[in-house]
Each structure stands twice: as C-alpha cells, then as structure tokens.
Amino acid sequence: MEACRKYLTHVQRSVFEGRITEGQLALLRKEVMNIADQELDFVIIYNMPDNKKLNRDILTDTPDPTENFI
C-alpha cells in the first residue's frame, strides 16, 4: 500500500510500522480510507503514544479476523 509506505516502514505482507506525528497519522488515515474497500479490507492502526498504552483502531467495517486470537 503506497499510502502506508509514505509514512511507515514495510515490515511484512501488509504490515507497516514506524513513528509518525499526529498530523501524519491523520493524513494516513484519510488516505487509507479513500482507497480501502469497506466490505473487503480489514485495516487496523495500532498506536502507542508515549510508549505507555497500546490503542487499537479498526478503520473498516469488515469482521475482525483477529477476534479469536488469545
């Protein structure tokens, strides 16, 4: 996904990671939502502000394929 590559490092398949500003995160969300298929794609943004608490934000309406993970 080219939108993710603009802001983050490609780790594996569809996984990207990196440090970005709140402004860059807002731009990334907007770009991803413009190209994601709401019925087929599953997009999660994990955000860890100040390295304290992990926030999980699901951007699409598809079923969560990770809901049965332990």
Annotated domain spans of the chain: 2-58
Which alpha helices (DSSP H) does the chain contain, by range? 2-7, 22-35
Compute the average pLDDT of residues 13-39: 91
Supply the pTM of this predicted model: 0.70
Local confidence band at 68 (pLDDT 50, 70, 90 cut-offs): low
Angle CA(30)–CA(52)–CA(50) in degrees, nearest 5?
60
Where is average pLDDT lowest: 1-5, 11-15, 56-60? Answer: 56-60
